[in-house]
Amino acid sequence: MIITLLDYGAGNVRSVVNAIEKLGGKIKPVTKPSDILDAEKLLFPGVGNYENMIRILTEKNYIAPLREYLKADQPFFGICLGMQALFEGSEEDVSGNESLSMFKGRVNRFKTDLAVPHIGWNGVNLKKDSPVFKDVLPDTKFYFVHSYHIVPEDESVVLTTTNYDYEFVSSVQQGNIIGTQFHPEKSGNAGIKLLENFIYQKDLRAKKAVDIKAKGLSKRIIACLDVRTNDQGDLVVTKGDQYDVRDEGNVRNLGKPVELAKRYYEEGADEITFLNITGFRDFPLKDMPMIKVLEQTSKNVFVPLTIGGGIRDYTDSNGKTYTALDVASRYFRSGADKISIGSDAVDIAEQYLKTGKKTGKSSIEEISRVYGNQAVVISVDPKRVYVNSPDDAKKHHVIKTQFPGPNNEAYCWYQCTVQGGRKTRNLDAVALAKACQELGAGEILLNCIDKDGTNSGFDLELINAVRNAVCIPVIASSGAGCEDHFFQVFEKTSAQAVLAAGIFHRKEVPIQNVKNYLLERNIEVRSTI
């Protein structure tokens, strides 16, 4: 089966391509407007910013053939923005460019006190007996990552709804035209099944209405792979103790990145994060080791992939300049869904807090403008600084701690570091997170150098301090040693996800055991059994 793919050049379409190819389909990319009308089945994965998407579709003269194709009720599957484009316009688009206007209704930003973007695995309430959902279990969860959702005027197009503070429409179907807000290509086996049905079901039309209810948003469990080249020149997954990755002088080697990522996917990880921990030193596009890792991983791993390390502007030895956006774009094209910025975020936040002005040119602003803020994660590497009184914290966000310092100091603040903890800065983690949110970041990966690799549990005081200061999702990281540590994070903080490394690499606790433990305690997680 030939599937025509409409890729307008923003974001990660590699996973969609990999999924279709894994299912035995052949991809034919749209290179000119007439390819749209010639398609047997058309797949449109939209990623990033709505205004940018419509602008590109208009420039390439794709709007008219798309309308004609849709009007003829030809098989169409729009993903995320690819579905939003079917409606009349979006709050994200202030240009007033014309959309496809296939369905009546608009795209609005979430109006909620919950974290926006809505990121993670959520259930879908099925409203139609659609062949696209054939053999997909009703309580299956799908991966969402978006700040805007559709508001159709005509109820009859609704295929599923999803609850996130309130019920919103998460997919639509009319005849052979299907659109999902969630990403099937990132939703593990369930999503792959959906795509398989789209490719191989002869008649896609829904026969009757149904009303099958689903469970809500899951807390996410993320496996993290710190990657670097060891002294023998091999790219390895390593793991530090408070960021020191050497044992008797040698870089710890805990496995190969692509193999480990596949293992964690099969074991039920909800996301995989790769951190190129020496990225601050080496230019990531030079020998491109992480690009190959992403390309190979995304062939078999159908959950979101984040890549961090070295995302910043760079001038090479020949004087050629690369922007952080260039680096990020290369990663997105190689299979990444999100990029994570560490050291550069500290520089940007310091500058922003000093001047009070957004330049529009920082890596955070540029990447979120093109790819959407959900694609920009800020990796924070803080260390505790103990003080006797809040006055000693020099205006930094200070907390009264239950775990006093070495000299019985009752307070602490969390100092930001750069270059993998090698250098400290006069900026606290709460101020950094707030500034980055204002600049357009979509998520915070909150590490903690004091806790990293200790297996002693998470710094819940740090997590609460940052989580309570921002409305974007927070991923708690550093210190997991047993199942209960994950439970403590979800019980005592409102973090949306927990990331761990060492216990998974050393096979101390399988991911499924963590999930079973959480399920037994009524924490909603995605079950992959």
Catalogue the active-site residues.
80, 183, 185
Stretches 37-45, 90-98, 164-172, 304-312: which one binds ligand 1PR (CB under 6 A)? 304-312
Closer to ligand 1PR by CB, 172 or 225: give it: 225
Beta carbon of residue 363, minimum distance to ligand 1PR (angstroms, whole number): 9
Beta carbon of residue 225, minimum distance to ligand 1PR (angstroms, whole number): 8
What is the C-alpha to C-alpha distance for residues 147 and 145, in angstroms, rounded to an integer? 7
| Residue ranges in 417-436 that form contacts with ligand 1PR under rule CB under 6 A | 420
| Residue ranges in 69-108 that form contacts with ligand 1PR under rule CB under 6 A | none
Beta carbon of residue 146, minimum distance to ligand 1PR (angstroms, whole number): 24
- Binding of residue 382 to ligand 1PR (CB under 6 A): no
- Binding of residue 176 to ligand 1PR (CB under 6 A): no
Closer to ligand 1PR by CB, 82 or 308: give it: 308
Beta carbon of residue 410, minimum distance to ligand 1PR (angstroms, whole number): 26
What is the C-alpha to C-alpha distance for residues 176 and 197, in angstroms, rounded to an integer? 12
| Residue ranges in 313-372 that form contacts with ligand 1PR under rule CB under 6 A | 340-344
Closer to ligand 1PR by CB, 157 or 345: give it: 345
Beta carbon of residue 293, minimum distance to ligand 1PR (angstroms, whole number): 14
Q: Which of 100, 80, 97 is nearest to 36 (CA)?
A: 100
What is the C-alpha to C-alpha distance for residues 369 and 302, in angstroms, rounded to an integer? 25
Structure token digits, residue 434: 């707030």
Closer to ligand 1PR by CB, 133 or 243: give it: 243
Stretches 153-161, 348-356, 425-433, 500-508: which one binds ligand 1PR (CB under 6 A)? 500-508
Beta carbon of residue 66, minimum distance to ligand 1PR (angstroms, whole number): 38
Q: Would you call the peptide bond into 117 cis, given omega within 30 degrees of 0 as the criterion?
A: yes
The correct pick among 25, 268, 335, 502 for binding ligand 1PR (CB under 6 A) is 502
Structure token digits, residue 368: 């979120």
Closer to ligand 1PR by CB, 197 or 343: give it: 343
Closer to ligand 1PR by CB, 190 or 227: give it: 227
| Residue nearest ligand 1PR, CB atom distance | 420
Closer to ligand 1PR by CB, 69 or 331: give it: 331
Q: Which of 70, 74, 230, 83 is nearest to 144 (CA)?
A: 83
The correct pick among 193, 453, 459, 483 for binding ligand 1PR (CB under 6 A) is 453
Stretches 113-121, 347-355, 435-443, 477-485: which one binds ligand 1PR (CB under 6 A)? 477-485
The correct pick among 477, 493, 496, 528 for binding ligand 1PR (CB under 6 A) is 477
Tell me how many residues contact ligand 1PR (CB under 6 A). 32
What is the C-alpha to C-alpha distance for residues 7 and 157, in angstroms, rounded to an integer? 25
Give the DSSP letter string of 281-322: TS-TTSS-HHHHHHHHHHHH--S-EEEES--S-EE-TTS-EE
User: How many residues would you count in the chain?
Assistant: 529
CA atoms within 13 A on the CB side of 495: 32
CA atoms within 13 A on the CB side of 132: 28
Closer to ligand 1PR by CB, 45 or 309: give it: 309
The correct pick among 75, 184, 308, 440 for binding ligand 1PR (CB under 6 A) is 308
Closer to ligand 1PR by CB, 235 or 311: give it: 311
Residue with tokens 């990755």: 245
Residue partners of 309: CB distance under 8 A and separation at least 6: 227, 274, 275, 276, 277, 278, 279, 280, 284, 290, 340, 342
31-36: which pairs have CB atoms within 8 A and are 24 or more residues apart? 33/60, 33/61, 33/62, 33/64, 33/65, 34/65, 35/4, 36/4, 36/6, 36/62, 36/65, 36/66, 36/69
- Binding of residue 275 to ligand 1PR (CB under 6 A): yes
Query: Per residue in 494-526, is it b (16+ CB within 10 Å) or e — as a string?
Result: ebbbbbbbbbbbeeebebebbbebbeeeebbbb
Closer to ligand 1PR by CB, 239 or 384: give it: 239
- Binding of residue 383 to ligand 1PR (CB under 6 A): no
What is the C-alpha to C-alpha distance for residues 476 and 85, in angstroms, rounded to an integer? 34
What is the SS3 assignment for 461?
helix
Q: Are 122 and 144 in contact (CB under 8 A)?
A: yes
| Residue ranges in 187-246 that form contacts with ligand 1PR under rule CB under 6 A | 224, 226, 239-240, 243, 245
Beta carbon of residue 172, minimum distance to ligand 1PR (angstroms, whole number): 38
By DSSP bridging, strand 321-322 and strand 314-315 are antiparallel
Q: Are 407 and 389 in contact (CB under 8 A)?
A: no
Stretches 152-160, 276-284, 316-324, 351-359: which one binds ligand 1PR (CB under 6 A)? 276-284
Stretches 18-26, 78-86, 105-113, 277-285: which one binds ligand 1PR (CB under 6 A)? 277-285
The correct pick among 310, 335, 372, 473 for binding ligand 1PR (CB under 6 A) is 310
Supply angle C-alpha 116, 117, 123, rounded to 5: 105
DSSP label of 342: -
**Footprint of ligand 1PR (CB under 6 A):** 224, 226, 239-240, 243, 245, 275, 277, 279-280, 308-311, 340-344, 379, 381, 420, 447, 452-453, 477-480, 500-502
